[in-house]
Amino acid sequence: MKNSHLRQEINRMLSIVKQTFGKNSREYKNLEYLLDILESTYRYNFDGERDLLDELNKLLIKLSNTIPELNVEKLSCNYPNISTMLKYLDEWLS
């Protein structure tokens, strides 16, 4: 899949989490790690990453308690390309 704005949105999301929790926080490092793997999965259609997608969804739910814009309902408005990637992977990995 080609999505030219995906990397920009990932960087923006990471920046918000970094500002809120710090670059050395577990939350930031987990989000960065999971998004990196899932972005590669999305771009190159790798298989077998369902558990990572589930972990990312759990992490986003947890982070949304502190950062409201990461709430499931707001994610598609604030990060439409990331939301598209997650929906695609959810369907593709099911």
66-85, pLDDT tens digit by residue?
A: 999 999 889 999 999 999 99
Quote the CA–CA distance of 44 and 13 in Å, as a whole number: 22
Residue 28 lies in a domain: yes
Give the dihedral of Cα atoms 65, 67, 71, 76; nearest 10 deg.
-170
Range list of H helices, the chain: 6-21, 26-44, 50-64, 72-78, 80-92
CA distances from 6 to 22, 24, 33, 66, 82 (A): 22, 23, 15, 23, 6
* Residue 31 forms part of a structural domain: yes
Residue 37 lies in a domain: yes
Structural domain including 77 reads: 6-92
Q: Is residue 78 part of a domain?
A: yes
The answer to whether residue 1 sits within a structural domain is no
Number of domains forming the structure of the chain: 1
Computed from CA positions of residues 44, 50, 55, 58, in that sequence, does the dihedral angle turn out positive or negative?
Answer: positive
Summarize pLDDT for 10-65 with one digit per residue, the tens: 999 999 999 999 999 999 999 999 999 888 888 776 555 677 888 889 999 999 99
The answer to pTM > 0.75 is no
